Structure 1
């Protein structure tokens, strides 16, 4: 699947990104040729870029541009296939990227034609929403419309669905406004009664002039658009986005289409994408330290990193809008109506350089001020490893102290080595061990992987020296990597939580701990199934010395397949847990097997390794106890029911264009969710009434407070402390509560079940450490 969207970006960590050099006159035809040669010589398959791959490249490129098959007609596709199906390889190897530009220009023309159709139809057609027609939800596998006449018919349905969706949004807004008005009236009445009783001090009224000024500005800025205007604006934005892409962007799309023809994880990365990848690995960057989002076509400050340049230097506030950007003393460039990623490029810069921004302050929207900020290093804390300690109440049995480590990625600074997942986890783990935890849960749910080196090192915290993962290259040569710790840093009872999105490095770690019989794996039916190893190769290294290569980009290419130490691969199959919990993700189209061109599953010989424990897990009894709890837990009944409904909807793949039917579906869904919330709330209250000492206690640990003497309760931990960022307040923030707070004991179902499984494991007696002469695993 191609992950380079052409649609507008909703939000970005733009202003805190790395520096991007000024664009040089790179010969992108030459770049394309060298990328093609690199794929042939460096990819695991060592497959020639031939006519078959030429056809696949064309198919991928058309799907990237028109992933719903609504802009091109079958006539367009047939014409392009006749011209390029077996010749794109020849063009690319001859340094010619003009076919990519030509196809993109046709795409732009088709989008313009559809926009003209949208304008004409919205102005002239009356949508009644009373038919029995339906429209497809997912069209990536659907045939292209055969000609313009069939395309017009399809687009009439698409527009009716767009308009119907906007009508439902308006109805939801009216209902939400009514609820807010009722809440506000109730609060006002309570304040009035409290003030009359003398139990509170009335708040001073805001300055009338200021309030009037803000209200007038807000009225001008946020005039309610009609459904027709909103639908039309969306398509106008799409065309604007498409028109703003230059040759570098187009070649990026084209080469990405070529890369994934080899396998789903081989990718061509532009310089900007390389910067984003480095940021995700290091969790630090050079910038101003602000989170940007688009609101009414203007970049708005939605978050400020605590301790970052914008925070330290002051002047910039949450909800301020950026209307212009200038580099140093240069002239301002107007940024209103500009794409967010373009604004991002302008705000980026080198450490110590200055960016000036023209701002409409949130405190005085009608005013304008200029702010200068010196860029500097920013640490992104939100995605760093963090931990919790759960202390169970007496009602759950003997008190347990359970350590819980949350790990969303395997990050590392591969250049300077100043950032390490393993080092961070070890700090957290050391504190948990100091608190004398009875067991540990390593939560890898949603962890898509990262550094292979960190996965190996992290495994070494839990098992003594030995093999962790095997790898095989294109020549069939097998190698292995091992952890080198003389003994495990933590050798107590351990559970690893996984789900369908746990991938790559997560699968290496989970598989190794499962093969060593070191940890019990609990989660969805399987993990993602990515059993391949990638390396990043700068394209400029393969280009001639004299060539312009400032913007040549990088190739992330699959060079090996990795294997478990027991010999099996995680490719396609993933890691199957020891205990499977019901999950809605099991019905979703997620995982390596659902991607295009995945490499096949195979096995290699097992390595010799010593099991960590001498007896197998008591899986029969553990599974029996877990199944009994799941059967009687309404939360898992909800999951089962919702999974069934979702599967039926996915299989149908159509949605009604009848307003009455859609309103009924919406009302039914709302009633079902409200009923679930009421039942959940009643259970939570019932349990809270029966618990002593406040129920299950959860303490929160971060790398900032891990060495402080006192633990901090999760309930006392602010969002700013968790993310390291001050966030703009949303309309629904006042009444919002943490997602887990609505559940019994204040923890979500899978987390609570992990606590129960750990208790079972301890009661059934954790297997003892294996002897050195224990027979090796098969």
Structure 2
């Protein structure tokens, strides 16, 4: 069975199951309007129904939605809210545990009310703890007293009453202050201000949660109960994911961060619209945003950062107006910036040539190093037939051609911080270094094996090759490293082994899955990244939990 037939089979499955939801298409694709957690709605129910159906029919394990999955999902959801056991009481947990064998039945009925119960209880506890923190930061601490802070969170029990909880928080705040004063050399005043600001920001971010955020946390807890690499992305998260995968966006070309309720410019992207505009600087605070030349200026102080980003992004060639308080001081300024297509060059492959002295005293050896942070490609560009769409393989091929022109002797491909990405790009990129043949074998949920091959003859680089890996090198990185090793095409150098992820995830756009066709506008339902297969090296070995063993062990900073 070839690559195309495998893809056809998965697509046909989506078409068939989508018919079950045809009657709810109009209701489910209506965008949310609220910016806070309200309560379970139509979209929650329908997204839950689609996700649970996909998990039942497409996940590699074929595990049913049963009490076992239910129990794991409850545990993971509580861990997502309070992994350090600082907020909930044991009585809260006892109440939640009553759902551990009921959640699967609730999900089958599209009932997400358990998530709202947990969230609202957490927010009650958060408000209580915030007041405690304010009081604790006004107190003096005895640093000469020997005390212990238990950080074995897996075995730590939840506090049974307010006194136990307050004592745990007293030690937590004492530790936080001591760390800042001793390790970061902060003054007592600075340390207390920083801790107050930290927990104030935590409270604000939780209060900015909306239904999309809660559904993402909830359904990811459910899907993680099947395996840790399957997850649900809400519509905003999915749009951000596509930007990171394609390395492009339409906007002003500025990275923002949240500081005490303000959207602060963290970085200006070189060559972007803001860079060319010339006035916006790192550290400036955006306090209002307006659309076009005459649109209302909307106050964005204390607004959720994701919502501010959505207001600033937009179609290339359109205008956005920003109310800005300059970092250098002075009165608020209004900057009018024309949005443009921004290339995220910092996350793309980069090449650099180093001259290394020859051990025999001859001409220096030229080593070309390619830093590859991820396996990216422009998914929408490829789907829409855009010529020369952005991809890892195209960028690395160009770098290799530059290396050839400079007379490079050895190529080093640095995957030490590469956590993976596109399976297709892993196959195509491997093809630049091998003549042709299978790159990876995929075993799907029906136990069928398909060899995915590099079908292009010839190599973009046939000379000496080193692949640098670490414990952070995962998934697509392991596919490439394993194939290079199996073909004897180069040496794997780095940590003793790579991460050890040997599963394949398929990205399912829920809007497209429901409608049976791609939608050329922002997602309303989000996406499911679901484990649909296991992969094996060309020689038949699995990388799951074992990774790719280095030929030469050279420990990285991750060990």
Q: How does 1:306-705 map to 2 (within 5 A)?
A: 306-328=270-292, 329-363=294-328, 365-393=329-357, 397-398=361-362, 399-417=364-382, 418-541=389-512, 543=514, 551-586=524-559
Q: Deviations over 1:290-310 (max 9, x none)?
A: 122334542222322233222
Match of 2:166 among 142, 152, 157: 152
Q: Deviations over 1:252-298 (max 9, x none)?
A: 11011111111111110011111121111111111111122334542
SS in 2 for 1:448: coil
Residues of 1 paired with 2:512 and 2:458: CA distance?
Answer: 41
Residues of 2 paired with 1:285 and 1:544: CA distance?
Answer: 25
Q: Deviation of residue 405 (structure 1)?
A: 1.5
Structure 1's 428 and 347: CA in aligned 2 closer, same or farther, altered over 3 A?
A: same
CA RMSD of aligned residues (A): 2.4
- Asked if 1:110 corresponds to 2:125, the answer is yes
Name which structure has the greater RCO, CA cutoff 8 Å, separation 6+.
Answer: 1
* Alignment gaps of 5+ in structure 1: 1-20, 175-223, 587-778
Moved more, 306-315 or 465-474: 306-315
Residue 274 of structure 1 is matched in structure 2 by 238
Residues of 2 paired with 1:550 and 1:415: CA distance?
Answer: 12
Match of 2:150 among 136, 145, 162: 136
Moved more, 481-490 or 525-534: 481-490
Match of 2:51 among 9, 23, 35: 35
Residues of 1 paired with 2:119 and 2:500: CA distance?
Answer: 34
Residue 14 of structure 2 is matched in structure 1 by none
Residues of 1 paired with 2:190 and 2:493: CA distance?
Answer: 49
SS in 1 for 2:346: coil
Residue 208 of structure 2 is matched in structure 1 by 244
- Using structure 2 for the length normalisation, give the TM-score: 0.86
Moved more, 158-167 or 453-462: 158-167
Residues 304, 310 of structure 1: 8 Å contact kept: yes
Residues 26, 552 of structure 1: 8 Å contact kept: no
Q: Deviation of residue 28 (structure 1)?
A: 0.9
Structure 1's 397 and 261: CA in aligned 2 closer, same or farther, altered over 3 A?
A: farther
Q: Deviation of residue 452 (structure 1)?
A: 1.1
Residues of 2 paired with 1:301 and 1:136: CA distance?
Answer: 38
Residues of 2 paired with 1:396 and 1:111: CA distance?
Answer: 67
Residues of 1 paired with 2:155 and 2:428: CA distance?
Answer: 42
Structure 1's 141 and 531: CA in aligned 2 closer, same or farther, altered over 3 A?
A: farther
Residues 31, 524 of structure 2: 8 Å contact kept: no
- Using structure 1 for the length normalisation, give the TM-score: 0.63
Q: How does 1:13-92 map to 2 (within 5 A)?
A: 23=32, 27-82=43-98, 84-92=99-107
SS in 2 for 1:303: strand
SS in 2 for 1:390: strand
Q: Deviation of residue 493 (structure 1)?
A: 1.5
Structure 1's 233 and 401: CA in aligned 2 closer, same or farther, altered over 3 A?
A: closer
SS in 2 for 1:585: coil
Q: How does 1:183-194 map to 2 (within 5 A)?
A: none
Structure 1's 173 and 70: CA in aligned 2 closer, same or farther, altered over 3 A?
A: closer
Q: Deviation of residue 550 (structure 1)?
A: 6.0
SS in 2 for 1:28: helix
Q: Deviations over 1:551-571 (max 9, x none)?
A: 321111011100011111111
Residues of 2 paired with 1:498 and 1:359: CA distance?
Answer: 43
Residues of 2 paired with 1:577 and 1:550: CA distance?
Answer: 41
Structure 1's 323 and 113: CA in aligned 2 closer, same or farther, altered over 3 A?
A: same
Q: Deviations over 1:571-628 (max 9, x none)?
A: 1111011111234533xxxxxxxxxxxxxxxxxxxxxxxxxxxxxxxxxxxxxxxxxx
Q: Deviation of residue 541 (structure 1)?
A: 4.6
Give the length in aligned residue pairs: 511
SS in 1 for 2:334: strand
Q: How does 1:214-229 map to 2 (within 5 A)?
A: 226-229=190-193
Residues 401, 437 of structure 1: 8 Å contact kept: yes
Structure 1's 313 and 47: CA in aligned 2 closer, same or farther, altered over 3 A?
A: same
Structure 1's 300 and 466: CA in aligned 2 closer, same or farther, altered over 3 A?
A: same
* Alignment gaps of 5+ in structure 2: 1-29, 34-40, 383-388, 517-521
Q: Deviation of residue 381 (structure 1)?
A: 0.7
Match of 1:97 among 101, 109, 112: 112
Structure 1's 515 and 392: CA in aligned 2 closer, same or farther, altered over 3 A?
A: same
- Asked if 1:232 corresponds to 2:248, the answer is no
Q: Deviation of residue 148 (structure 1)?
A: 2.9
Q: Deviations over 1:103-157 (max 9, x none)?
A: 110011111111122223333x421111111213463553322333322221111
Residues 268, 554 of structure 1: 8 Å contact kept: yes
Structure 1's 553 and 133: CA in aligned 2 closer, same or farther, altered over 3 A?
A: same
Residues of 1 paired with 2:313 and 2:61: CA distance?
Answer: 38
